[in-house]
Chains A and B, each alone.
Chain A
Amino acid sequence: MTSVTNGVIIIAHRGVNIKRNCSSEHMRKCVIMKRFELIEHTADMGLEAYGETLAEAFANAAYGMFSIIAELDAVREVETRRVEISEEDMEGLLFEWLNSLLYYFDVEMLLFKRFDIIEFGEGRLVAECHGEKYDPSRHHLKTGVKSATYHMLEVDREKNRVQVIFDV
């Protein structure tokens, strides 16, 4: 959901809460910008995610992945996990970031819907991920994601855009 109060824009549905003072033009741009788009792939499924910053694109990729797995509207933000990742490069960081979140889903059945990136730099990411444990009575699961893959994996620093194909 997007809410605007006194020139402060909060865009929670982009997978990351961004709270900042914006001009009305900037606000419009933020609201219409897509978080992610699915990529068609015969056997599998992928996505392209965007952001105002690269960190936001990483958060949106995670949001996109969980929206492949489940309908996120009914998921509440009641559990938080801190995820810390260090890798040699940004591609490895994206691969590991998404796969770490899948690990939480397998082991703790956690569905995440909001990702606050606390630290983000070359090969390093610290995030607080908010969501809820899967509850079959309220949550609707869609497609299982086995893993992010390196195939066609891209991290575009100039356009703040990332791309990933999942094994589903």
Chain B
Amino acid sequence: MPKWSGKLEKVDDYRWRIPKSYKPGMRVDGLIYTDEGMLPHILEEQALEQVANVAFLPGIVGYSLAMPDIHWGYGFAIGGVAAMRVSDGVVSPGGVGFDINCGVRIMRTNLTREEVSPKIKALIDALFYAVPSGLGSKGKIKLNSKEIDNVLVKGSRWAVENGYGRPEDLETTEEGGEMAGTDTSRVSGRAKERGIPQLGTLGSGNHFLEVAVIDEIYEPDIARAMGIDRVGQVMLYVHCGSRGLGYQVADDYIKEILRAMQKYGIEVPDRQLACAPVKSPEGQAYLAAMRCAANYAWANRQCITHWVREAFCRVIGKSERDAGLQLIYDVTHNIAKIEDHEVDGKKEKLCVHRKGATRAFPAGHPDVPKKYAAVGQPILIPGDMGRMSYILVGTEQAMKETFGSTCHGAGRMQSRTAAKKQQSGREVLAALEARGITVRAGSLSGLAEEAPEAYKDVGDVVRVAHGAGISKKVARTIPIAVVKG
């Protein structure tokens, strides 16, 4: 892999710019959030070329943005944010990715590490059996070809109406877990066939369930608004997406939009950047199908949340109320959304692509739940499975600079093959156990691929996001037990 040696200008300690003069065809500059420490890693691969390529897309405004966890993806870089005018800009399925609405949620509990630790093995086993995970797992929910459409329209609400979770969970889910503007006729039969058996499954790869404890609180008042009040408090994470249904929607529309591009006279430097005008029939069809897939993913996390609560209460021997299992928030990492933002002093409707990036809306924004109106939208940044994860909130600065967006995770540093060469799954397991982290994994080789050493230190990523002001650190968690898909 050649190093990237394109044009790059340092703006300040946290910002680097790729000027649009770097490549003829770039409509805006690229802007990368990083620091001197992380930049050398970024330059080792072609992620910045991808940031430059995204700047070619019609209707892009501001910058082609790269969050601090940026790494080489396909088409768009992972950690990429791009906003296009709805009036004359495009939507790109590749700018969302295959795992539509891959996302993460966190639940608080009333329990402390001391109360949970003695039962941790029983707890992780209970979680492992309660939530189907791993490649080739099938869900426990029986859907038919009619009912799947209700899932695609109602998302989390479908789950709650069918006994999975509580109505208040919807208030603390991005979009209420139910994105409007769906059209189930835009989702192919194949996508639905893939989705029917997989609802309520974690999947594999980097998807996980985690039992974590609060390790540091930076903003006690904001943390309190989230129900986080002490170090040692136990938290539960769920990270997964839209499974085969989302992949199929992406496949279907990348093909359809590639075919349509000629008609609209659009040329892109990488076919994976295939795009169509937001207002075109193809663009509208994709958005409607993508929202269905996003709702599927929210229903998926909501069903899993219910089983996690049941398993937790059973092992700990407390009722849900006594255990205090409230959903703090659920964020999506892979999505395109129509949002209002200020561009050159004017309010404009934009199609914001977040590909491995999180929405980061500030206090007072109408889309932030009432509960968090005074503190800002919670942002969840899972790290690798051996180190910490962070809880942040959105800021005004993010609204001004990044269309209300920030990082989404640690970002891979090492390929899966390289990770496997370095350590076996068994070695990774032993190293984690030695650090007091109990792991249950469907596959040992999958575990080796997800070794902590394959990832950047999420602490570095969050330091840049916080330092640049595009989000604010609230609290940090460390894992005590993990189920890997």
- Report if A and B associate in a common complex: yes
Chain A residues with Cβ below 8 Å from B45 are 42
Pair A167/B135 contact, Cβ less than 8 Å:
no
Q: Does A26 contact B (CB under 8 A)?
A: no
B412 lies within 8 A of A43 (CB): yes
Cα distance A103–B198 in the bound complex, in angstroms: 13
Does A49 lie at the interface of the complex (its beta carbon under 8 Å from any beta carbon of B)? Answer: no
The smallest beta-carbon distance between B202 and chain A, in angstroms, is: 11
Kindly list chain A residues whose C-beta atoms are within 8 Å of the C-beta of B272: 149-151, 153
Residues of A within 8 A of B193 (CB): 103, 107
Interface string of B417-446 (1 = CB under 8 A from A): 110000000000000000000000001011
With a 10 A CB-CB cut-off, give which of A87, A146, A167 has the most chain B CB atoms. A146
Complex: how many Å from CA A37 to CA B305?
40
Q: Given the complex of chains A and B, what is the CA–CA distance between A21 and B251 in angstroms?
A: 40
CA distance A95 to B250 in the complex (A): 12
Within A83-111, the residues touching B (CB, 8 Å) are: 87-88, 91-92, 95-96, 99, 102-103, 106-107, 109
The answer, among B254, B258, B259, B446, for a CB contact under 8 Å with A143, is B446
- The answer to whether A43 touches B73 (Cβ under 8 A) is yes
Q: A43-B71, A99-B251, A167-B74 are in contact. Are A88 and B259 (CB under 8 A)?
A: yes
User: Is B270 positioned at the interface, with any CB of A under 8 Å from its CB?
Assistant: yes
Whole-angstrom distance between the Cβ of A82 and the nearest chain B Cβ: 16
Specify which chain B residues have a CB less than 8 angstroms from the CB of A149 in the assembled complex: 74-75, 94, 98, 272
B414 and A106 contact, CB distance less than 8 A: no
Cβ contact within 8 Å between B98 and A167? yes
> Which listed residue, A92, A142, A152, touches B255 by the CB 8 Å rule?
A92
Question: Which residue on B lies nearest to A134, using beta carbons?
Answer: B136
Q: Is B14 an interface residue (CB 8 A)?
A: no
> How far does the Cβ of B286 sit from chain A's closest Cβ, in whole Å?
15
CA distance A26 to B289 in the complex (A): 51
- Is A8 in the interface zone, CB < 8 Å from B? no
B203 contacts A by Cβ under 8 Å:
yes
Residues in A whose Cβ lies below 8 Å from that of B415: 40-43, 45
Indicate if the CB atoms of B73 and A136 lie closer than 8 Å.
no
* A107 contacts B197, C-beta separation under 8 Å: yes
Tell me the number of A-to-B contacts counted with CB atoms below 8 Å.
116
Find out whether the CB atom of B251 lies under 8 angstroms from the CB atom of A44: no
Chain B residues 380 to 430 lying within 8 A of chain A, measured CB to CB, are 412-418
**Smallest Cβ distance from B263 to chain A, in angstroms?**
13
B204 at the A interface (CB under 8 A):
yes
Say how far B385's CB is from chain A's closest CB, in angstroms: 16
Interface residues in A116-168 by Cβ distance below 8 A to B read: 134, 136, 141-144, 146-147, 149-153, 165, 167-168
Q: In the complex the two chains form, is B72's CB within 8 Å of A144's CB?
A: no
B247 near A147: Cβ-Cβ < 8 Å: yes
Partner of A150, one of B71, B134, B254, B446: B254
Answer yes or no: B481 CB below 8 A from chain A CBs: no
Please determine whether A38 and B190 come into contact, CB atoms closer than 8 angstroms. Answer: no
Query: Smallest CB–CB gap between B210 and chain A, Å?
Result: 19
Within 8 A of B (CB), among A71-87: 87
A106 near B74: Cβ-Cβ < 8 Å: no
Q: Report B-chain residues with C-beta under 8 Å of the C-beta of A95.
A: 251, 254-255
> B452: CB under 8 A from chain A?
no
Which chain B residues numbered 75 to 98 have a C-beta less than 8 Å away from chain A? Answer: 75, 78, 94, 97-98
Complexed CA–CA distance, A142 and B45 (Å) = 26
Please tell me if the beta carbons of A40 and B412 are within 8 angstroms of each other in the complex: no
Question: Counting CB contacts under 8 A, is B3 at the interface?
Answer: no
Query: Smallest CB–CB gap between B376 and chain A, Å?
Result: 29
> What's the nearest-Cβ distance from chain B to residue A67, in Å?
13
How distant is A88 from chain B, measured CB to nearest CB, in Å? 7
Q: Which residues from B are CB-within-8-Å of A153? A: 271-272
**Is B98 touching A141 in the complex (CB atoms < 8 A)?**
no
In the complex, which of the residues A69, A134, A147, A153 has the most CB atoms of chain B within 10 Å of its own CB atom?
A147
Task: Contacts A43-B412, A88-B259, A150-B258 given; indicate if A143 touches B78 (C-beta within 8 A).
Answer: no
Chain B residues with Cβ below 8 Å from A102 are 244, 247
The interface of chain A, by Cβ under 8 A from chain B, is 38, 40-45, 69, 87-88, 91-92, 95-96, 99, 102-103, 106-107, 109, 134, 136, 141-144, 146-147, 149-153, 165, 167-168
Sampled A-B contacts (11; CB under 8 Å): A42-B72, A99-B251, A103-B194, A107-B193, A107-B194, A134-B136, A141-B443, A144-B203, A144-B446, A152-B74, A153-B272
